[in-house]
Amino acid sequence: MGEFANLLLGFQIALTPYNLGIAFIGIILGTIIGVLPGLGGANGVAILLPVTFTMPPTSAIILLTCVYWGALFGGAITSILFNIPGEPWSVATTFDGHPMARQGRGGQALTAAFTSSFVGAFFAIVLVSFFAGPLAELALKFGPPEFFAIQLLTFSAFVGLGGGSPVKTVASIFIGFILAAVGLDIVTGQLRLTFGSVELMRGFSFIVAVIGLFGLGEIFLSVEEGLELRGVTTRVRFREILATWRELLGYKRTFLRSAFIGFWMGFKPGGATPASFMSYGFAKRFSKHPEKFGTGTIEGVIAPETAAHAAGVAALLPMITLGIPGSPTAAVMLGGFLIWGLQPGPMLFKERPEFVWGLIASMYIGNVIGVLIVLLFVPAFAAILRIPFAILTPLIVFVCAIGAYAVSNAMLDIWYMLIFGVVGYVFKKLDYPLAPLVLALVLGDLAENALRQSLIMSQGNPGIFFWSPISAVITAAALLLFFWPLLAPLLRRTRGTPEPVAH
Amino acid sequence: MRKADVVCALFLLALGLLVVAEGLRLGIGWGTDGPRSGFLPFWLGVGLGVSSLIVLWQVLAARGAATRRFVGPGKLVPVMKVLIPAVGMVVLSQVLGLYVAGGLYMGAYMRWIGRHSWPLIVLLTVGIPVATFLIFEKWFLVSMPKGPIEAWLGY
């Protein structure tokens, strides 16, 4: 029962007035970020990262995770009221959420969405609380080959599960690793890919890349589409909340199934989006009224929201236990660890228990505060989208520029941000996924060190990744996932089953 | 769309080749302390080159498939209207500091694109940079590039 004692310690830290205040601010900022077009979890956290440099690490991570929860809640508001999915995993929420809002049941849809998010997150946090310790314990026995195998699995998961074009995903991963290699090679002390330029010696900061790729890229896309915000006005009344809650009690199975799918898919990278679609699909299949899906049924809101939030929480599990992020947002937070003077990885549980358990406890608190705040202040958050676009656009560009500069007080970073913005815009249009690029940029050095150390251990024999049972299993799984896009059609042909219908 | 896809793939192919060349220059073999510096870049470059070739092949093989244009007619204009002033803001901030340049950028965009009234623009273009200044410089002690106006005010 060591977990309970640790969790109690965590709550003592997370419940101090200062940290509670931080959590409140984080949730409110996060929800605003989630509602604003062009800002999402990853770049919101990236822009706020410099602000945390002067904070104690535990408060810093509480702020950033609360921004993340807020952004997840905020995404539901835009999906339901404005039919604009802020993130790919809220696409499934629009299927039934927006029709409900159009029928005047917006309050009901929002209550259902927030409650489901909360339930999904809570389910996943309980699992994280009890799995994190043992997983970190196991990871302590890992050597370089195991770590490299896990990183291989991380990127293979994007190729195999990410959807979209597998080849373009692979290209994105390589671009990320190449950008990570720019600068000083810390093993040999040689300069790589700098082509004699002093500016390139610093390499590329992934925080700047995130702000450019996700923030500016998204702004360019939305001005091109001439974003027209025709939303539905809604107020959530207290009686409506209670009535909706009573109705939600009838969907216990949907909740449980979706939360499980979300957690299971979520700790693998890029899992939140497939989790939300999968859960929507399952809910439809097992529903008593499958014909109502797409026309505004409450089940169609519960399923994807529960799964997406459970997946969002689960994505933090590999970040805190292994030091390997499962999503771009987790990657940005992990970047923060190094800046706050923490070495990410399984040792964190031994060396800084107050940080890890404070973080886990704050997940409970953050989600409780989050669901209360969004339920109470929906009209205020929705009003943000009524601010004229010509005011929001330059404001977001300005905020992005500040965030990019603050990372390392370099003017050049603002230029990089603009370039990454254009690249993000082009890649988004051509369906090159951005998340694997960012993750590769973050993990580049770690992965290269793990690979080199492994090869040194084996005198250059790549077979080392199959020598220990753990790394053999993980490497085999990684290879299977990587070649899945090639294998799946073959399997289907031999079995004679039809192609799955895409959503 | 196809043209853009081809151009992008060719660009990535060139990037891959550049990285391969750099890898070869640094040495891809086995040094005294394990793989040499160029080892990973070389294979990364090869990987990027190969995947961009596959993309090229896929795009060219999908002849006659329904293609939509990369950017609809006239749709690039609003994008440029954001990008070019943003470049201007960055250039200006090297002289005037980020706060003043940012304020000017926001004001220009609001007037030019949004046709908002002058009082509102003045309120926002002064208020937002001042608020950001207080939050970053005073509260979180993060310093931004500053220009003559901040110097004149004593910062």
- Chain B: nearest CA to A168, how far in angstroms? 7
Which structure tokens are listed for A182? 């720019």
Q: Does A401 touch chain B (CB under 8 A)?
A: yes
Q: Quick one: three-class SS letters along A177-199?
A: HHHHHCEECCCCCCEECCCCCCH
> C-alpha distances in angstroms, A221 versus A143, A207, B68?
43, 20, 16
pLDDT of residue A304: 93
Query: Chain A within 8 Å of B4 (Cβ-Cβ)?
Result: yes
Could you tell me if residue B109 is inside a domain? Answer: yes
- d(C-alpha A439, C-alpha A214), whole Å: 13
Overall average pLDDT of the A52-57 stretch: 87
Neighbours of B131 (CB within 10 A): 10
Domain positions in chain A: 2-486
Check B102 against A398: CB less than 8 A apart: yes
Residues B52 and B88 in one domain: no
Per-residue pLDDT reduced to its tens digit, A288-343: 888 888 888 999 999 999 999 999 899 888 888 888 887 888 888 888 888 888 88
Mean pLDDT (chain A) is: 86
Residues A210-239 have a mean pLDDT of 78
In a domain, B148, yes or no: yes
pLDDT, tens digit, 9 for 90 and up, residues A246-283:
888 889 999 999 999 999 888 777 677 788 888 998 88
CA distance A62 to A59: 5
Question: Average pLDDT for residues A189-217, to the nearest whole number?
Answer: 85
A196 touches chain B (CB under 8 A): no
Task: Tell which residue, A103, A142, A131, has the closest CA to residue A264.
Answer: A131
Q: Could you say which of B87, B94, B145 has the minimum Cβ distance to residue A418?
A: B87
CB contact under 8 A, B98 and A181: no
**Residue type (1 letter), B102:** G
Contact flag A167-B58 (C-beta cutoff 8 Å): yes
One DSSP character per residue, A41-87 reads: HHHHHHHHGGGGGGS-HHHHHHHHHHHHHHHHHHHHHHHHHHS--SS
pLDDT of residue A228: 59
Give phi and psi for A224, each to the nearest 5: -65, -45
Chain B hits for A220, Cβ within 8 Å = 79, 82-83
Do residues B34 and B87 both lie within one domain? Answer: no
Q: Which of A119-128, A201-210, A220-229, A416-425 has the lowest mean pLDDT?
A: A220-229
State both tokens at A277: 């679609």
A412-431 average pLDDT score: 93
pLDDT score recorded for residue A116: 94
B/e letters for A486-503, b = 16+ CB within 10 Å, e = fewer, are eeeeeeeeeeeeeeeeee
A503 falls in which pLDDT band (50, 70, 90)? Answer: very low
pLDDT for B24 beyond 50: yes
Pick the residue of A391, A423, A431 with the most B CBs within 10 A to test the interface with B by mutation.
A391
Which residues on chain B are in Cβ contact (under 8 Å) with A413? none
Specify if B68 maps to a domain. no
Q: In sequence order, what are the beta bridge partners of A490?
A: none
Structural domain boundaries, residue B130: 76-152
Residue A3 has pLDDT above 80, yes or no: no
* Residue at token pair 């954001």: B82
Q: How far is residue B41's CA from residue B54's CA, in Å, rounded to a whole number?
A: 20
Spatial separation of the C-alpha atoms in residues A339 and A311, rounded to whole Å = 26
Is residue B34 situated within a structural domain? yes
Number of structural domains (chain B) is 2
Half-sphere exposure (Cβ direction) of B22: Cα atoms closer than 13 Å? 22
B83 interaction partners in chain A (CB closer than 8 Å): 220, 418, 421-422
Give the Å distances, CA to CA, from A173 to A23, A176, A277, A377, A487. 34, 5, 24, 40, 21
* Contacts with B51 from chain A: Cβ below 8 Å: 167-168, 170-171, 174
Shortest distance between the Cα of A338 and any Cα of chain B, in A, equals 18
Judgement on whether residues B148 and B80 belong to the same structural domain of the protein: yes
Spatial separation of the C-alpha atoms in residues A432 and B17, rounded to whole Å:
20
Q: Are A64 and A316 in contact (CB under 8 A)?
A: no
**How far A45 CA lies from chain B's nearest CA (Å)?**
16
pLDDT at residue A229 tops 70 = no
Residue of B nearest to A409 (CA): B144
Q: Which of residues 8-37 of B touch A (CB under 8 A)?
A: 8, 12, 15-16, 19, 22, 26, 30-31, 33-37
Question: A-B interface: how many C-beta pairs under 8 angstroms?
Answer: 171
User: Does a structural domain hold residue B136?
Assistant: yes
- Residue of A216, A409, A426 lying closest to B143 (CB–CB): A409
The shortest C-alpha distance from A138 to chain B (Å) reads: 28
Q: How far is CA B57 from the centre of its chain?
A: 28
In chain A, which residues have their Cβ closer than 8 Å to the Cβ of B98? Answer: 401-402, 405
Beta carbons within 8 Å of B90's beta carbon, 6+ residues apart = A401, A411, A414, A415, A418, B101
Helix A299-314 and helix A272-286, axial crossing angle in degrees, nearest 10: 150
pLDDT at A502 (0 to 100): 43
Find chain B residues with C-beta within 8 A of A460's C-beta.
30, 35
Work out the average pLDDT over B95-118: 91
Q: Which of A51, A226, A394 sits opposite B78 (nearest CB)?
A: A226
Residues B40, B92 within the same domain? no
Task: State whether A224 and B48 contact (CB < 8 Å).
Answer: no
What residues in A contact B30, CB-CB < 8 Å?
A: 460
Asked if B116 lies within 8 A of A409 by C-beta distance, the reply is: no
Interface membership of A448 toward B (CB under 8 Å): yes
**B88: buried, middle or exposed (CB in 10 Å: 19+, 13-18, 0-12)?**
middle
Say whether both B43 and B90 belong to one domain. Answer: no
A226 with B74: CB under 8 angstroms? no
Query: Average of pLDDT values for B97-118?
Result: 91
Contact B33 A456 (CB under 8 A): yes
Out of A219, A398, A452, name the one closest to residue B34 (CB): A452
Please report which confidence band the pLDDT of residue A21 belongs to, taking 50, 70 and 90 as the band edges. Answer: very high
Q: Which helix (H) or strand (E) holds B35?
A: strand B34-35
Euclidean distance between CA atoms B81 and A158, whole angstroms: 34
pLDDT above 70: percentage of residues in chain A: 96
Q: How far is CA B71 from CA A76, A351, A429, B2, in A?
A: 29, 52, 9, 11
Asked whether residue B70 is domain-assigned, the answer is: no
For residue B27, pLDDT over 70 is answered with yes
CB A401 within 8 A of CB A62: no
CB-CB under 8 Å, A448 with B4: no
- Residue A214 is classified by DSSP as I
Query: Cα–chain-centroid distance for residue A30?
Result: 13
Quick one: angle between helices A166-181 and B2-26, nearest 10? 40
pLDDT band at B102 (very low <50, low <70, confident <90, very high): very high
Distance from CA of A432 to the nearest CA of B (A): 10
Instruction: Give pTM, 2 decimals.
Output: 0.86
Tens of pLDDT, residue by residue over B36-89, are 888 889 999 999 999 999 999 988 887 666 566 777 777 788 889 889 999 999
Co-location of B80 and B57 in the same domain:
no
Q: What is the ipTM of this complex?
A: 0.92
Q: Is B53 in the same domain as B81? A: no
Average pLDDT over residues A443-462: 85
Residues 94-133 of B with CB under 8 A from A: 94, 98, 102, 105-106, 109-110, 113-116, 124, 128, 132
pLDDT of residue A126: 93
pLDDT above 70 covers a percentage of chain B that reads 94
Contact by Cβ (8 Å): A75, A87: yes
* Residue B83 and residue B52 share a domain: no
Which H or E run contains A385?
none
* Assigned domain for B67 exists: no
Smallest Cα distance from B114 to chain A, Å: 5
Residue A497: its pLDDT value, please? 53
Report the alpha-carbon distance of residue A40 to residue A33 in Å, rounded: 6
CA dihedral A273, A277, A279, A285 (to 10 degrees): -170
pLDDT of B141 reads: 79
Q: In the predicted model, what is the mean pLDDT of residues A66-82?
A: 88
Whether the CB of A408 is below 8 Å from some CB of chain B: the reply is no
Look up residue A495 and give its two tokens: 């079995």
